[in-house]
Amino acid sequence: MSENVYECNSCLYKTPRRTNANRHITLIHNGIAIALNKKTGKLSSQKPITNHKSEVDLETQIIYDIFNDIVTSFERLEFLVRFFPEQMRVNFLSDTLIESLLNTEPHKVINEKIKTIQNEIPIVKLSNYISARKKLELPVAIVFLKELVVNSPAYEFRKAQKEKKYQLKV
């Protein structure tokens, strides 16, 4: 019985014949592997694997395109949440990135987050002071600050103005 001399570098396949090794690489690994002859140190095939190179180049280019599409929006979002507490910022940005990449148009997801967060920025920014002063977690400070505003004379005044405007339109 002959000794198995060609070993695939991608799996445990071994064979004594170069042609079997080449067929295995083509059929099992789509040409993206090599088999080494343990006795001679030569590869089973000296042909360049052009199919592998073009697939990798295409994949790499698509990845770069996607990242280039989202980087400007993502940097804008990073800037907007720069004053969030570090862990809250990291969680928000990484969740947003993951959510965007699970969508067919990742930049649109990030741009929607930007629109949403722009309304929240003043609340979070001001709540940081309440959080520090009252030793509250930021989410609790946000609720506290919102309740404070809802019960303030400024809220009642603005509410009356908006109701008056609404009645004039109807």
Is the pTM for the entire model greater than 0.85? no
Distance separating alpha carbons of residues 124 and 129, to the nearest angstrom: 9
Contacts of 100 by beta carbon, 8 Å cutoff, 6+ apart: 70, 106, 107, 109, 110
The per-residue pLDDT for 103 is 93
The per-residue pLDDT for 49 is 43
Tally the C-alpha atoms within 13 A of residue 168's C-alpha that lie toward its C-beta.
6
pLDDT at 22 over 80: yes
pLDDT band at 53 (very low <50, low <70, confident <90, very high): low
Instruction: List pLDDT tens digits, range 6-21.
Output: 888 888 888 888 888 8
Judge residue 20's burial from the number of C-beta atoms within 10 Å of its C-beta, 0-12 exposed, 13-18 middle, 19 or more buried. middle
Domain ranges of the chain: 6-47, 51-169
Amino acid at 44: S
pLDDT, averaged across the chain: 86
Backbone angles phi, psi at 7, to 5 degrees: -120, 130
> Who has greater pLDDT, 166 or 154?
154
pLDDT at 113 over 60: yes
Q: Is the dihedral of CA 145, 138, 95, 114 positive or negative?
A: positive
- Least confident range from 25-29, 50-54, 111-115, 139-143: namely 50-54
- Site of tokens 């002071």: 129
